[in-house]
Amino acid sequence: MNDYLYQIAKDSGLDKEVLKISHEYNKKPITSFQDSRVAGLQGVIDYIFSKGEERYAPSIDVTEFFKSDEAFSIGYSLTQETIGPAIQNRTQENKIPELNKLLEKYVNTLEGDSWQLSASKLANKGLEDSLQLLNKNYLYPEPNTTQFDNQRIIVTGSDTGIGRATALEFLRRGAKVALHYPTQEFQRGAESVVDLAREYGREARAFQGDFRNLENIPIFANKAIEYLNGVDIVVNNAGITMNQKFENTNFEQFNSLTNVNLGGAFFVTQAAAPHMKKQGKGTIINLSSVHGFNGMAGHSVYAMTKAGIIGLTRQLAIELSPKIRVNAIAPGWTATANHFRLMPELDFAEIGQTETIAGFISNPRNMAKQIVELASDNFNYLNGQTIPLDGGHTSGMYHGRGCTEVGEKPWGKGLIKGIE
């Protein structure tokens, strides 16, 4: 595995004796996400993506890759596998101000020095999350936000991306959360949320459920509801996609996407609804997509399922009213860990300027804040609606034939057979 941070430091001429960035030097386990090695890694990566400027730039949440009482080297290695090529692309041609100094501070951090001062001086250049980890307020709510104290929440597909960020946001606001991951391969991201919750005195537990088999869906839902002792809010986020021509799509691929994307929302809601009706109140938030409105070659089944979510949302709002509200959001461009892994060449800051009228590409945490607010009683008159959260992307006119070409990225690898 290429260690890109190590290579950047080496190319910059830093003293070889302090080149401790390499994961081989970091066998000592982390006992807290306040660990300077984790906070520092978050800071260095965020700084690289902001290019050392005072601007918003999507990055990743490195806590997804770490677990308490596990060697730092394991999480570091997984972070590198995900973000390494994207880091390389951003540092090859761009001279990032003060990056060498920041890297030197970080390698010294790995030898025991403080990261606090270095991060504080650069807080306005993309290091806010790093400081939150270091100061142990990462899982504290922001001021003047709606609280969900003692609310019981299920978030499916919460091992990565928007789902994981949504689970974290509910935890910040005082809720008890049941997380979901599909298979053991994807367990780490959900379990890291449980570790964070435990560290901050919150309540969370992760449950496995491979929704490709419909019979697994109510089994997961019932375990989650039993853990929560009921349920107040469900966020049906679980979803998978693939790049595949319409004429090449086989039965198994079709069933995998429809079972996860539509079956998950349908049967988790079916399991939760009786509990919500009994208590007289409940909220369902479904995740659709801009693909449910606009087409793109290679995503026929995905688009079908996301359009289906829009219809299901309207139908459930009618059948479950007035006690249960059902709405959906349709995310547009959102820079997740999978995007960085599969599309390391993209500069999301630049894409935001050209493909959204908002002028930026969202990240999972930003999406999560809006999902959580939509689940609150502040929106008690909204029902049966699907709201595009796309920075205005779908407000524009059609521009060219780019959407008619099937992409080559292996979306769905590990979950959809035939995708390598």
Q: What is the CATH number of the domain that holds 358?
A: 3.40.50.720
Angle at 118 between CA 115 and CA 123, to 5 degrees: 110
Cα distance between residue 289 and residue 330, in whole Å: 4
Residues 210 and 126 in one domain: no
- 85 and 164 fall within a common domain: no
Given a contact cutoff of 8 angstroms between Cβ atoms, the answer to whether 51 and 59 are in contact is: no
16 falls within a domain: yes
**138/134 Cα distance (integer angstroms):** 8
- At residue 77, φ and ψ (nearest 5 deg) are -60, -45
Q: Does 87 share its domain with 205? A: no
pTM score, whole prediction: 0.90
Contact 410, 240 (CB under 8 A): no
Q: In this structure, are 158 and 94 located in the same domain?
A: no
Please count the residues of the chain: 420
280 belongs to a structural domain: yes
Structural domain of 230: 152-404
226 and 91, same structural domain? no
- Where does a domain end: 108, 134, 160? 134
Question: 56, 181, 227, 302: which is the annotated catalytic residue?
Answer: 302
76 and 220 part of one domain: no
pLDDT at res. 292 = 81
Q: What pLDDT score was predicted for residue 18?
A: 42
Which residue pairs from 147-150 have beta carbons closer than 8 angstroms and sit at least 24 positions apart in sequence? 147/173, 147/174, 148/173, 148/174, 148/175, 148/233, 148/372, 148/375, 148/376, 149/173, 149/174, 149/175, 150/174, 150/175, 150/176
Long-range CB pairs of 129-133, under 8 A, 24+ apart, other chains included: 129/42, 129/43, 129/46, 129/59, 129/61, 130/39, 130/40, 130/42, 130/43, 130/46, 131/39, 131/43, 133/33, 133/34, 133/38, 133/39, 133/42, 133/63
pLDDT at 41: 86
Q: Residue 97, class by beta-carbon neighbours within 10 Å (0-12 exposed, 13-18 middle, 19+ buried)?
A: middle
Q: Reply yes or no on whether 302 is catalytic.
A: yes
Q: In this structure, is residue 327 part of a structural domain?
A: yes
Token pair in block for residue 393: 């992307």
Task: Based on the fold, state whether residues 164 and 130 are members of the same structural domain.
Answer: no
pLDDT in tens, the chain (420 residues): 456 666 666 666 554 444 455 545 577 888 999 988 888 889 888 888 887 665 567 889 999 999 999 998 899 889 988 988 888 887 775 566 667 777 767 766 665 555 555 555 555 556 788 888 988 999 999 999 999 999 999 999 999 999 999 999 999 999 999 999 999 999 999 999 999 999 999 999 999 999 999 999 999 999 999 999 999 999 999 999 888 888 998 999 999 999 999 999 999 999 999 999 999 999 999 999 988 888 777 789 989 999 999 999 999 999 999 999 999 999 998 889 888 888 888 888 788 888 888 888 889 999 999 999 999 999 999 999 999 998 888 886 555 445 556 666 675 667 777 766
Tell me if 65 sits within 8 A of 163, measured CB to CB. no
Tally of CA atoms within 13 A in the half-sphere of 222 that contains its CB: 5
The pLDDT of residue 412? 64
pLDDT (0 to 100) of residue 15: 47
User: Do both 120 and 266 map to the same domain?
Assistant: no
Residue 329 falls within a domain, yes or no?
A: yes
53 with 197, same domain: the answer is no
Per-residue pLDDT, 97: 66
Q: Which two tokens stand for residue 12?
A: 């910059």
Based on the fold, state whether residues 186 and 319 are members of the same structural domain.
Answer: yes
In this prediction, residue 359 carries a pLDDT of 85
* 411 assigned to some structural domain: no
Residue 73 shares a structural domain with residue 212 = no
User: Residue 384 falls within a domain, yes or no?
Assistant: yes
194 in Cβ contact with 241 (< 8 Å) = no
Preceding amide of 143 cis, omega within 30:
no
360 and 282 within one domain: yes
Reduced to 3 states (helix: H, G, I; strand: E, B; else coil), residue 27 is coil
Number of structural domains, the chain?
2
Residues with Cβ within 8 Å of residue 253, at least 6 apart in sequence: 242, 244, 301, 416, 417, 418, 419
